[in-house]
Every structure is written in structure tokens, then in C-alpha cells.
Structure 1
Amino acid sequence: MSTLLGRMQSRFSRFHEVGDVDQQVKMNRKEIPQKKTIASLDGVRAIACFTVVGYHINLITRDTGIWDPKASSFGHAWMTALFLSGFSGVTLFFVLSGFLLFLPYARALLLKTPWPSLRLYCLRRALRIVPAYYITLALLLLFYDRSYLQLQHLGHIGLFLIFFMDSTKDTYQKVEGPFWTLAVEAQFYVLLPLLALGMRWLVHRLSIVGRGWVLIGCLCALMVWGVCIRAWGIESEQLSGQFYDAIQVIRMFLYGQTGKYLEDFAVGMLLSLCYVATQHPKGGYWAARLRQWSYCIGGIGLLALAGMMWWNTHFVFHFSPWEFLNTVSHTYPWVHEWLFACSYGACLVAILYGPNHLQRFFSWKPLRSLGNVSYSMYMWHFPLLMIFMIQVGYRLQNGNGLIIYGLYWLYAFLLIVPYSTLFYQLFEKPGIALSAKIGHRSRPLAEKIELPFSGEGEERTQKSKITVDV
């Protein structure tokens, strides 16, 4: 009889093993408030911003004849590959957004922590980006590009106000070139809670392991969707016939002018899910392996970035000793964003799980400070660079190219960075402070987590929440 009872108890324990884990998570959640800032990602944000700033400096100096991207030497080709791949800094921004904004949803979906408040999410996103953006838009319309103040552009200004300026040729890269990326970001902010709710419906009855695999499948499907929509959007621009107008309307919402970049956001979301999974006690093995292999994963990411930079140069200028690229060049417009995103994702794994000295570099206070003002710098660097080009660059066009190139960077650090810092203090910080105040009133209870970036993997309790300001 005792043997029979023992077998029944064993089977009952195995049957409820997953339930016990979920219950333990809920008990841990009640222990302490949660708050944890991933400081190193502020440094990554600064690097992403300066990558974009450098890209625009390189474009300006190329277009004004300071340097020639088509020079035939192999070393010069690598310089061109590096200089003209800075647009991928935008890709890194999208990956970071996907990672940070999906974190609370990943916890709720995988670990069944409290579901993030939609009201709080919307308020914080709006307070984070809208005030500074509207003020920038108003100043640019008044002092930089007054043509949009004419009556025929009234509808176009409406698209700027609702963050839909990436949808038409009349507003894409108008007023201020990089604004279109803010439209992509804002549209992702709207879509993210809907995606999370859809995933919740799929996984709410599953075990923690089942939830993990289904969520991975959902995010991989989102990547495939992003790549397929990009391919369709590129091809649909060339279509004609009786359904042309209807197709272009659909294209405006699903693709815009250059895509909605869901494949980039999905890479960040997948990384976020893995990050949350390795904080769970059941994920300790994988957290240890990722720490062990962080350098290798980061090295693969850097090599992949170098390969993508070279492929980009080959696609644009058709200069490469690697003839095999000719056979796959037709796929570049479809997959390049996703491959850049995966490369950056591998680098982020190395940063998140890497050793302490790597963490310290990206958490360096001056670098983090630049990351904090990256939003203002991103919005203002291009018009300020254009002013310098018109007032100074053209007059020095026949001078020493290296000196002129250095002057652009000196101007960026001595004027653009201080201006962006001032703008941040005046117009961004009040919104961030109000957002933090609202969040403090609604601060959720949190769980006890294992920090994969601590270097030792010990379990700690943190009285802070994840910062998701992007």
C-alpha cells in the first residue's frame, strides 16, 4: 500500500511540477519591488546615435567632394564600407527598442508576472517622445523649412503630427531627414501591445516551457513577416494595372516608403525573451553558457557586421573582389535589415552576458550621458550639420580633405552635443520626470531575479525596475 501511495505521489508531483514553478514565481513576485536599469544599454544607445551622426557626416563630405567612395584600392573600399554603413545605427536603435519595450511583456508572458498597464505604457511613451518631437517640428518649420507652412502642405503637416510621415513620398525625409524613423518607432509602440495580447492568447494555458517555445515561434514568424513585407513592398512599387491604387493604399500602411522594420524589432524582442528566460531558475544553465560563450558570440556578431558592410558597398558601388556576391545581390534589399539586426543582436548578447570589464566600458558615465541625450541629438544633428555645410563646408571645399572632415566632427562635439544636452534638459527631461512620477505611483511588485550580466550569476534582489526609455 505504501509503495502504491509513493508511486501516486510521485506522479502527482511530476504532474504539478510546472504549476509549482509558476506558483513559486508568483510568490517571489510578492517579495520586493522591481527596478533594474541595464546601464550598459545607455552606452549602446550612444554608439547607435553617433553611428548615424557619422553616417550623415560621411554623406555630406562625400557629396561635397571631400572623399571619393569609388576609389579602386582595397583599403579604400573597406573605408567606404565602414563610412557608408552607418545607416545601420538606425537598425540598432530598432533592436534596442524591441528589446527594452518587450521586457515587461516577456516577463508577463513567460513568467506570468502582472500584465503591464496599457494606460501607463501609452502615457510613458507619449511623454517620452511627443513633447520634444513637437517642439523640434515647430522650430524646424519656423526657422529651417518654411515651405511646409503653405496651405497646400496642411495635410502633410497632419501626417507629421500623427507620426505617419513615412507613408508617402510627399512627407518621407521631408522637413528633417531622420524624422521618418520616429514614425516607424511610434507605429511599433502602437502595435506592440496588440502583438503581446495575441501571444498571450496563444500561451496562457501552456506550461512555462511550452510558453517559451510558442513565443520563440511567434517572434520568428514576426521576422519572416517583416522580411516578406519588405520584399512585397519593394516589388509592389513597380506594379501597374487596375488594382494599382488599392495596392498603393495597402502598401502605405503595411510598408510605407522603406518598410516598417518589424524584422528588426522582432530580433530585439527575441533577445528580450531569452534574457528573461535566463533570469528564471530553470534558465540558469543557459545563462552560464551564454556567459561562457559571450566573447565568441560577440566576435561572430562583429564579423557578420563587417560582412554586411562589405555587401552593402558591393550592392551600391559594385566594387568587390568577391564575385559570388553577384549571385545573391538581388536578395540584398529584402534581407539586409534583418541580417544587420541579427548581427547587432549577437553583439548585444556579448554585452548583456559578457564579463564585468565589458559592462564597465558600456556603462561608462560619459558614454551613458551621451546615450541619455541621444533622442535630442538624433533629431537635431542633421539640420545643424546642414547649416555647417552651407556656412562653412562649401567655403573650405578646396582645402585639405582630412582637416575638413575633422572639422565636421569637431563641430559635432563642440556644438551639436551641447545643443542636444540643453534641449534634453529643457524639453525632454520634464516629460521623463513626469513619466517616472506616474510610474512610481503605479510601481508593480516584482520578482527575485538572477542577473546574467553580474559575471558570477549569483541570485540578487533588486529594488528597481527595468528602464525602457528609448
Structure 2
Amino acid sequence: MATTTTRPSVDASHPRTTERRFFPELEGMRGLAAMGVLTTHVGFSSGMIGFMDKEANGFLGVMLQQLQVSLPIFFILSGMLLYRPFALATLAGTRKPAVKPYLWRRALRTLPAYWVLVAVAMTFLNRENIHGAWQVIRAVLLLQVYQLDSRTVAQGLEQTWTLATEVAFYALLPLMARALDKISGSSADPGVRVRRILWALSSLVVIGFAFCVWTELPSMGEYPMQNEWPPKWLGFIAVGMGLAALSAAADLSPATVPAFYRWMMKNPLGCWAAAAAVYVVACVRPIGQPGHADYPDMAGGLTEMFLYLLFGLFIVAPVTVPRGRSKFVVAAMSNPVMRFLGRISYGLYLWHIAIIYFWHGSLFEAGGFWELYSVTLGGSIVLATASFYLVESPAMKLRERLGKASAGPSVETIHS
């Protein structure tokens, strides 16, 4: 049952109430992203994807390589889900989320399961390369991405650079939300305020592209660690935060939101068709070699970032609509299979690389695609399910006491 609270409104003559609602489509979208990331990594490890002097294995290899478009979904969903209550407070005048419970919720959701992976990876996959306590401590604190030598003590943890970016965003979000609250001004029109928020967020997209340019400079070399630092991915977070602001504004007054979001609200299948078209363009790779995972040049890197931003925007937007979602979207994203995959998606993300190491001992030439895919997917589902019920779920139950929120996932909306 959703709980309803009365909070002060911008207009005292129209008091607003809020409620927390569960949107299973958001869970399904997270499951889709996790499956995409797992599949592209298996494609790389099985040699289907081109790398160095090895060519991609036909059209399937090209498609597998560009399933990397799944990665931005995680960042955009985080930006949308975590900023939405702050955006609603700014636009509707409701009480702002308390920072301390928010940080507790984020810590309880991410760290316990991650620490289990670190313990296993350090004990069984990296033990011979550990030469000091700091090499372990930095992994525990998600700081390994900031030291250039950390890749030598990161087997089974390679994908967690994205978690380091997420955690940095969690820490900065209250400050970002406060700044956006000031920027939005005091206009009575939520459409005006949401446009101001969008203009401010566009600066983060520019910062992301600027950082991408820096990481692509020849002086940085190939595969620089700085490519995995948070500033490069600010644009994806900003897209999610922008969708949060638009969703909150549509919750208040649908007619006042920008026209492009009204189109997205009315044409969810059009959005997904646009996302599919962007994916096809990314597969063709107008700048770069299709199906190859080699580090791109500057033009290729910037093009890829632009396409991934567009893909993430179009695929996530339909599940941000506050009310009246498409029946097709609901059926596609909230069926039992997608909801289950969404529920265990964090474990799928955490464990699939370690399973490849345990199966083959390396991320390279780890066997035939279908054999490796079966092993990785099956093993990941088993470990992710165990992680959810034995680690994540018990930790999330502490949210009711430490995080001042229900254990289940929900989104704050205006009560109608």
C-alpha cells in the first residue's frame, strides 16, 4: 500500500499531497539493461567481437558489440529515479527529501552485495597480484578506478568502474538538486521552471563531451583509465535527471511540459522505434569499424557518445510517464520474466565477469559464444538470485529503520 503525506505547497490554496507508487516497468527496464551488458561482455570474451587484429564474427558480432548501448540505461535510470523526488519538491513545493536517509538508502542498496563480490574476487582471482593492503582497501571503497595501476588487481571487478561513477553521483545529487532548485526560480508555471532545469542540465552534457575530447587526445594513449572517470558520464546522468524533471512536471501539469516530452508521452512506440533506429546506426558505426571494441579515435568516440545519449533518452522516456502508460510498454517491461530479471539485475551486473574468469581463467578467447553465454547467464542468475535474497533484500529491510523508507522500490508522485 502506498503511504500518503501532506506537505507544504507553493500555492497554499492548492495543497499538494504525494504518494509512493511502484512502477514495475522501471524494474523491467533495469533487467533489460543488465542482460544487454552481460551479453555484450560474453560476445567480447568469446571472440565474436572484433578486437586488435581479430575481425568481428559477422553481423552477430557487430550487433553484440553495440549492445554497449545498454550501459547508458543504468546511468539514465539512476538519474531519473533518484532525482525525481527532488524535482517534484522543486516543481510542486513539497518537502525536500532528507539527505541522511537518502544516503543510507543508497549505501544499503549498493555496498553489501558489492563487498561480497570484492571479497570473492580478491580471494580467488587477484590474490597473487596483491602486494599491499591499499590494493584491497581501494576496491572496498570503490576508488580503484582513480589509480592507473588498478587494472592489474581487478580481475572480476572490471565492470565496477560504472558503480564507482554511480556512487560519485549519489554523493553529489543532493548538492546538484539544491543548485537546480535555486536555478528553477519561483515562477508559478512548472513548465517555465522545468525548462530552466533542462538548460542547467545541458551544461553537464557539454562537460561530458568536453571530458570525452580530453580522454581521446593522442597524448592519453589507448584505453586511458580517465575514460572511466565520472565526468565523462555526466551527460547520461543529466539525461536521466532531465527525464525526472519532465516526469514530475507532467505529474503536475501535463500541458505545460515541453512539446517533445508531450510527444514522447503520446508516442511510446515511436520512442522505442527511434531507439531501435539509433541502435542500427551505432551498429553501422558511421565513424569507426563496425563490430570492433578497439578504443575509438576522437571522432568515433564523440559520435558513439552522441548515439548512446540518444538511445538512452528514447528507450527510457516511455517508462518515465507518470500516468497512462502504453499497454504495450507495460506488457513488455512488467511481465514476470522482466520483473524477475530486474529484481536480480544488480547481481547479474556484479557477478557475470567473475563467472567468465572462474569458467575460463581469462576474459579473452573464453570459448564458443553459445556455450559461454549459457554458462555465464545460468551462473549469473543463480548467484544474482542468491545475492538478492541473502544479501540485498536483508540489507534493504534496514532501510525502514536507517533510510526511513519502505524496503520495496517505489517512486514518489502527486496524489490524484
Partners of 2:306 and 2:121 lie apart in 1 by 32
Single out whichever of 208-217 and 378-387 deviates more from structure 2. 208-217
2:384 corresponds, among 416, 420, 425, to: 420
1:110 corresponds, among 88, 91, 95, to: 91
1:295 corresponds, among 260, 264, 269, to: 269
In the superposition, relative to structure 1, how do residues 194 and 367 fare at CA in structure 2: closer, same or farther (>3 Å)? same
Deviation at 1:416, TM superposition (A): 2.0
Deviation at 1:201, TM superposition (A): 2.2
User: 2:203 aligns to what?
Assistant: 221
Aligned partner of 1:221: which letter?
S
In the superposition, relative to structure 1, how do residues 221 and 259 fare at CA in structure 2: closer, same or farther (>3 Å)? closer
User: 1:378 aligns to what?
Assistant: 349
Deviations 1:108-140 (A, max 9, x none): 122222111110111001111111111211121
Aligned partner of 1:215: which letter?
I
Aligned partner of 2:305: which letter?
E
Q: Give 3-state SS (helix, strand or coil) of 1:200's partner.
A: helix
Single out whichever of 432-441 and 207-216 deviates more from structure 2. 432-441
User: 1:309 aligns to what?
Assistant: 283
1:80 corresponds, among 54, 61, 81, to: 61
2:246 corresponds, among 270, 274, 277, to: 274
User: 1:137 aligns to what?
Assistant: 118
Root-mean-square deviation (Å): 3.5
- Are 1:389 and 2:337 an aligned pair? no
User: 1:34 aligns to what?
Assistant: 19
Query: How do 1:342-361 and structure 2 match up within 5 A?
Result: 342-353=310-321, 354-361=325-332
Query: How do 1:15-94 and structure 2 match up within 5 A?
Result: 22-23=10-11, 27-29=15-17, 34-62=19-47, 70=55, 77-94=58-75
Aligned partner of 1:414: which letter?
G
User: 2:134 aligns to what?
Assistant: 155
Partners of 1:196 and 1:418 lie apart in 2 by 38
Preserved CA contact (<8 Å) 2:352 2:377: no
Count of equivalent residues: 391
Partners of 2:400 and 2:313 lie apart in 1 by 28
Deviation at 1:219, TM superposition (A): 1.0
Partners of 2:77 and 2:361 lie apart in 1 by 34
Q: Give 3-state SS (helix, strand or coil) of 1:35's partner.
A: strand
Preserved CA contact (<8 Å) 2:27 2:339: yes
Preserved CA contact (<8 Å) 2:104 2:403: no
Preserved CA contact (<8 Å) 1:25 1:447: no
User: 1:263 aligns to what?
Assistant: 235
Deviation at 1:442, TM superposition (A): 9.2
Q: TM-score, normalised on structure 2?
A: 0.83
Deviation at 1:188, TM superposition (A): 1.1
Deviations 1:16-60 (A, max 9, x none): xxxxx931686122xxx5111221011111111111111111111
User: 2:375 aligns to what?
Assistant: 411
Deviations 1:119-162 (A, max 9, x none): 011100111111111121112111221035422xx333332232
Preserved CA contact (<8 Å) 1:95 1:268: yes
- Are 1:340 and 2:292 an aligned pair? no
- Are 1:100 and 2:88 an aligned pair? no
Q: Unaligned stretches of 5+ in structure 2?
A: 1-8
Partners of 1:380 and 1:192 lie apart in 2 by 27
Preserved CA contact (<8 Å) 1:55 1:85: yes
In the superposition, relative to structure 1, how do residues 148 and 138 fare at CA in structure 2: closer, same or farther (>3 Å)? farther
Q: Percent identical across equivalent pairs?
A: 20
Deviation at 1:430, TM superposition (A): 1.1
Partners of 2:253 and 2:48 lie apart in 1 by 55
Preserved CA contact (<8 Å) 1:168 1:257: no
Preserved CA contact (<8 Å) 1:60 1:389: no
User: 1:194 aligns to what?
Assistant: 175
Larger radius of gyration: 1
User: 2:394 aligns to what?
Assistant: 430
Deviation at 1:386, TM superposition (A): 2.2
Partners of 1:267 and 1:223 lie apart in 2 by 8
In the superposition, relative to structure 1, how do residues 137 and 114 fare at CA in structure 2: closer, same or farther (>3 Å)? same
In the superposition, relative to structure 1, how do residues 256 and 168 fare at CA in structure 2: closer, same or farther (>3 Å)? farther
Preserved CA contact (<8 Å) 2:144 2:150: yes
Preserved CA contact (<8 Å) 2:348 2:384: yes
In the superposition, relative to structure 1, how do residues 191 and 26 fare at CA in structure 2: closer, same or farther (>3 Å)? farther
Single out whichever of 142-151 and 116-125 deviates more from structure 2. 142-151
In the superposition, relative to structure 1, how do residues 307 and 146 fare at CA in structure 2: closer, same or farther (>3 Å)? same
Q: Give 3-state SS (helix, strand or coil) of 1:84's partner.
A: helix
